[in-house]
Amino acid sequence: MVKRERIQLKLTSALNRSRVVLLSGPRQSGKTTLARGFVSSDSANYFDLENPLDLERLSEPFTALAPLEGLVVIDEVQRRPDLFNILRTLVDRDNIPA
């Protein structure tokens, strides 16, 4: 396994100072593996938009995402650009720490 301590520390730091963090990079560079180190793929807070079941879970995105608390990972989010406006609305809420 590739050691990623430096990038993990940078990502943790970014998550501590911002409500939204984008993890980007070339294909097959370990982004999904890194994200799964923060939120398990079997968590309700993890969405893989290449997985048909997760796509179905987001068929009503506001309903699916609004009750979630804590760190939420949406892997391959670029496949659903319509989510960005919804995410902005959810992130701007003052009373829910997601």
Q: Number of folded domains in the chain?
A: 1
60-71, pLDDT tens digit by residue?
Answer: 999 999 999 899
44-53, pLDDT tens digit by residue?
Answer: 999 999 999 9
pLDDT at 11 over 70: yes
DSSP 56-80: HHTSSHHHHHTT--S--EEETGGG-
Q: Is residue 72 part of a domain?
A: yes
The whole domain housing 18 covers 5-91
Where are the alpha helices (H) located in the chain, listed in sequence order? 5-17, 31-36, 52-57, 61-65, 83-91
